[in-house]
Amino acid sequence: MIKKIVFLGAPSTGKSTLSEALAERFDSISVPEYGRDYWIEHQVDRRLSPEQLLHIAQVQNQWEDQASIAAKDYLFCDTNAFTTWHFACHYHTTPLAELTRLAEDSWQRYDLVVLCDNDIPYDDTWERSGDANRSEFQQFIQQYLIAHGIHFIKVSGSLASRIAQMDVALNALESEQRNDLLSPC
C-alpha cells in the first residue's frame, strides 16, 4: 500500500521542487499542481471564477487517484484541495460549498502532511501574487493546521536539508505502520 504525502505552503516555498526530488529519489511519482497551468491558461485579470477553482480541486484529486495506481511506496502530491479552497477564500471571500467539502475531506487522503517553510528566497515570477501574500498565506496555512488539529511536519532549509528531514519523517511513517500491523486487536 502506498503512502500519500501532500506538500503545503505559500507560493514559492519549494513544494514542487521537493515533491519532484523525492519522487526521483524513491523512484515514484510526483503529482504536479494542476491549478498552476490551468491558471496560466484561463485566468482573466489574474483571477479565476469560483467554478474554475472547484474544477481545479476536482481534477487535482483525479490526478492523485490516477497516479496512485502507478506509484511505488510513496505518492508525492504538490498541492491539494485545501490550497485551492484557500485561494478561493482569498479572492472570493466565500468558496463554493462543494469546494469547501473537498477541502475538509482532503485531510483523509494523506498519510503525511508537510508544510514547506517560507525560509527560502521568493521566486518572483509573473504568475505569483507577491512576497507579501506569501507571508500572509504561510501564516494562514500554519494557523489553520494547528487550529483544526491536523498533524503535520514542517520542513525548512535547503533542498538537501528538506530531503533529510523527509527521510526521517518517512522512516517514522514506515515504523508507525509496522507497529500498527503488529499491534494486537
pLDDT(110) > 90: yes
Look at residue 96 in the predicted model and tell me its pLDDT. Answer: 96
Over residues 13-17, mean pLDDT: 96
- How far apart CA 127 and CA 67 sit, in angstroms, is 26
Integer angstrom CA distances of residue 35 from 22, 47, 182: 21, 12, 40
Mean pLDDT is lowest, of 4-13, 22-31, 93-102, 132-141, for 132-141
Q: How does residue 18 score in pLDDT terms, banded at 50, 70 and 90?
A: very high
- Phi then psi for 60, rounded to 5 degrees? -55, -45
- How far apart CA 9 and CA 64 sit, in angstroms, is 18
Q: Which tens digit of pLDDT belongs to each residue from 113-169?
A: 999 999 998 776 655 555 568 888 999 999 999 999 999 999 999 999 999 999 999
User: Residue 128: which of 5, 49, 35, 57 has the closest Cα?
Assistant: 35
Q: What does the mean pLDDT of the chain come to?
A: 91
**Residue 157 contacts residue 166 (beta carbons within 8 Å):** no
Look at residue 133 in the predicted model and tell me its pLDDT. Answer: 80
Look at residue 184 in the predicted model and tell me its pLDDT. Answer: 55
- Pairing of the two strands 153-155 and 74-77: unpaired
Give the residue carrying C-alpha cell 483525479: 62
Q: How does residue 41 score in pLDDT terms, banded at 50, 70 and 90?
A: very high
